[in-house]
Amino acid sequence: MPKFPNTRMRRTRSSPWVRNLVRQTQLTPHDLIWPIFVHEGDEAEDIPAMPGVQRLPLGQLAATAKRAHSLGIPAIALFPNTPANKKDSQGTEATNPDNLVCRAIATIKSACPELGVMADVALDPFTNTGHDGIVVNGKIDNDITLEQLVAQALVQTGAGCDILAPSDMMDGRIGRIRHALEQAGHVDMLLMAYSAKYASSFYGPFRDAVGSSGALHGDKKTYQMDPANSDEALAEIALDIDEGADMVMVKPGMAYLDIVQRVKQQFVIPTFAYQVSGEYAMIQAAAANGWLDGDAVMLESLLAFKRAGCDGVLSYFAPRVAEILG
């Protein structure tokens, strides 16, 4: 590049029109997946560490789905808060075709069939251990868990789910779920794999929201990834693509955008990241104190996901962002 004054980097920043002209990255409502918490109650319930986010009753889902669709948000992701009396060591409730998440899926698909509905495949909202897998003799048993995950995937498919998102981090789950779906004739079911999911402390507020934090014994380090590792993320992504994932995800988001960039450079597959509950909480807390401009930081953070290479982002800010961009 020629030296100053032949090059003056400020020329292309000198007015709004030229900045618009040279801008490389755009954020639109179509980039967003909106995570939504549901519970068995009749009223919406606040989640203290996630100001502005509520656990919704089934009765409010139709209106919420229509709102998402009218804002141009392509899909929502559902997370059930399962009452403690329905949890057991095997996460049996996960495979009940009439469980809360299945009823939520069906409610939304009938109210707003145009909206994509995604649901996690993982046992943690349903186990009394708070773990994503089944504990046998004090350890998470990978292969026994796979059977239960396949059953869960099939009931959610039956309820009308559009995207199954295995978030459990068991080995081999994408392949087993894909095989079961093909066998059952669900050849178009989308799988978004939480492929590079780290054992992160940024999930704290989410675990309160779904009621799994009180239940959780120990940590998730034997299945979720070590935050120190990067190459391992690429191995996880490669395996999930090979096993039949249509889309992959990196999680958490802001502190892991280096992983997104490596994934996007190495693989040709739609790539997502999850701006998780703790990231949302940090921005909202600072904004509530007047320490940051909340909307500006929200938009900047999501633009950064796109710049790093994300095709889309899961974010609790989705409706607010879509409102501003719309």
Q: Given 87, 197, 264, 306, which residue is catalytic? A: 197
- Report 44-103 residues binding ligand PBG (CB under 6 A): none
The correct pick among 34, 203, 223, 305 for binding ligand PBG (CB under 6 A) is 203
Quick check: is 197 catalytic?
yes
The correct pick among 129, 167, 271, 284 for binding ligand PBG (CB under 6 A) is 167
Decide if residue 207 touches ligand PBG (CB under 6 A): yes
- Gap between the Cα atoms of 26 and 286, Å rounded: 25
Decide if residue 302 touches ligand PBG (CB under 6 A): no
A 10 A CB-CB count for 231 gives: 8
CA 69 to chain centre: 18
Cα Rg, the chain, nearest whole Å: 20
Decide if residue 33 touches ligand PBG (CB under 6 A): no
Q: How far is the CB of 185 from ligand PBG (least distance, A)?
A: 27
- Phi/psi class of residue 244: alpha, beta or left (left: φ > 0; alpha: ψ in -120 to 50)? left
Pairing verdict, β 54-57 and 45-46: antiparallel
- Choose one: 98-106, 120-128, 171-179, 287-295; the region binding ligand PBG (CB under 6 A): 120-128
User: 8-29 as b/e, with b when 16 or more CB fall inside 10 Å?
Assistant: eeeeeeeeeeeeeeeeeeebeb
Chain position whose Cβ is nearest to ligand PBG? 206
- Choose one: 13-21, 39-47, 199-207, 318-326; the region binding ligand PBG (CB under 6 A): 199-207
Quick check: is 251 catalytic?
yes
Specify whether the CB–CB gap between 117 and 161 falls below 8 A. yes
Decide if residue 37 touches ligand PBG (CB under 6 A): no
A 10 A CB-CB count for 199 gives: 15
Decide if residue 121 touches ligand PBG (CB under 6 A): no
Decide if residue 277 touches ligand PBG (CB under 6 A): yes
Decide if residue 122 touches ligand PBG (CB under 6 A): yes
Decide if residue 236 touches ligand PBG (CB under 6 A): no
Report the candidate in 145, 203, 200 with the shortest Cα–Cα distance to residue 171. Answer: 145
139 sits in which H/E element? strand 139-141
Decide if residue 132 touches ligand PBG (CB under 6 A): yes
Residues classed as catalytic? 197, 251
Residues forming the site for ligand PBG (CB under 6 A): 120, 122, 124, 132, 167, 203, 206-207, 276-277
